[in-house]
Amino acid sequence: MAVKKLRPIRWNGGIVYLLEQRDLPFHEKWVKCDTVEKVAKAIEEMTVRGAPAIGITAAYGVALGAVRSKNKNASVFEKEVKKAISRLRRTRPTAVNLFWALDRMEECLKAVSVLPIAEQKRALEKEAIDIHLEDEALCNRLGEHGGRLLEKAKNVLTHCNTGALATGGDGTALAAITHAARKNKKLHVWVDETRPYLQGARLTAYEVAHAGIDFHLITDNMAASLMKQKKVDAIIVGADRIVANGDTANKIGTYALAVMAKAHGIPFYVSAPTTTLDLIKKNGDEIEIEQRNPKEVTHPQGIAIAKESYPVYNPAFDVTPGKLITAIILETGVCRSPYQKSLRQALATAKKESM
């Protein structure tokens, strides 16, 4: 099966171009970000979303700030770049990839600080491009590992958006689906709409259709019924943060799917890059959960379905306990319980491979 590729992040002439994901699937519009503030706003306001894509965009934001700087004084230039990094750190708190990418850009700045400003600019630009290219290669490896777990599945359910729109390549969880679809032409996907922001309905369905894979869009509360009817063979999702014991933060609604999968004896997989690992945190209770705008619930896509005055609880993520996860797919391979051991081994392997 020939799978078409999407690439929603572009770097051209010191400017970041982003596919406006809030307009999908009805309009394909590119947003020009020529200042650090515009990049930061694009992350905050979800023009770009998905943990790996946020990290890549933030890295380009730092490169943009450096490349477009007019400062000739080395110390002032350094302060300007660090100010850009600081601004981008304040955009979204849950996705660890953001901070990983910014840490890497800061380390690059430190490493080249003795060089002429022109060379520092080239180094920072190259670092951001490398982060993007590495994620593309990483997605391919995730797809290969995850695809093997799904090759015999007839019906796979996925939640939120984990394809090219969320990453620098073919995706994380969705990459596993597209890789499996190349060998299994009868593969069918159940796409959770993913309330309240509807990433599944707006983005994942768009990606799966673009790839030419058979699918049906469902509301989130239909999943349990499909499992009971034995119409789901596997569930695969992405992750925004995975801690030492395997507890995983992902889009709100993921935890419910894991509980239902356990009840019905269905394998539940998480696919994510090692940059999503936060092994300093011991368990999911230590993960900060982002609270989103109440209007995402009362006015989805700008359409009022409830009174604006109603009190709203709108966490963007929930935490799935590691004990409910069948396997965690990383670019280094497939990790299984006990995660305290397997995740540390995977991270050590990733670090060794990057040296």
User: Is residue 338 classed as helix, strand or coil in its secondary structure?
Assistant: coil
Q: For residue 221, what is the DSSP state?
A: G
Distance CA 219, CA 258 (A): 16
Catalytic, 240? Answer: yes
Q: Are 317 and 251 in contact (CB under 8 A)?
A: yes
Catalytic residue among 220, 240, 247, 318: 240
Give the DSSP letter string of 263-319: HHT--EEEE--GGGEETTS-SGGGS--PBPPTHHHHSGGG--SS-TTS----BSEEE
Q: Please give the radius of gyration of the chain, using alpha carbons only, rounded to the nearest integer.
A: 20
317-320, strands of its sheet edge to edge: 277-278, 241-243, 248-251, 317-320
Sign of CA dihedral 169, 205, 237, 179: negative
Catalytically annotated residues:
240
